[in-house]
Amino acid sequence: MSTTQEQIKEDIKNNPVILFMKGSKLMPLCGFSGRVVAILNQLGANFETRNVLEDDELRQGIKEYSNWPTLPQLYINGEFIGGCDIVMQLHEEGELQKLLK
């Protein structure tokens, strides 16, 4: 396993709620990333973010890690939950809050 994959794995293990996104929590640089940040904030979630725009290896590596081609990617308790569509859908159905508990 390459170093990037090891780092991603560790990062996801050490952070119960972690969002790989374009931009930062305070300044999302993509509408989809921004929407996920807004939902997590609205639910009062305690979450970490990683900016893939600052690290091209991470940007490619996270897609390989999940075998999923798009960003953002939300992980809760080590599990890949999904991107913007899934997060919005879970939020609408009240399921996201349960996952964050």
Question: Of the two residues 50 and 91, which places its CB atom closer to other proteins in the complex?
Answer: 91
Distance CA(3)–CA(39), nearest Å, equals: 32
64 binds other proteins (CB under 8 A): no
Residues 70-99 that bind other proteins (CB under 8 A): 80-82, 84-86, 89-90, 92-93
Distance CA(60)–CA(86), nearest Å, equals: 21
Question: Of the two residues 9 and 54, which places its CB atom closer to other proteins in the complex?
Answer: 9
Among 29, 42, 43, 68, binds other proteins (CB under 8 A): 68
Distance CA(60)–CA(69), nearest Å, equals: 9
Minimum CB–partner distance for residue 61 and other proteins (Å)? 19
Helix (H) or strand (E) holding 51: strand 48-51
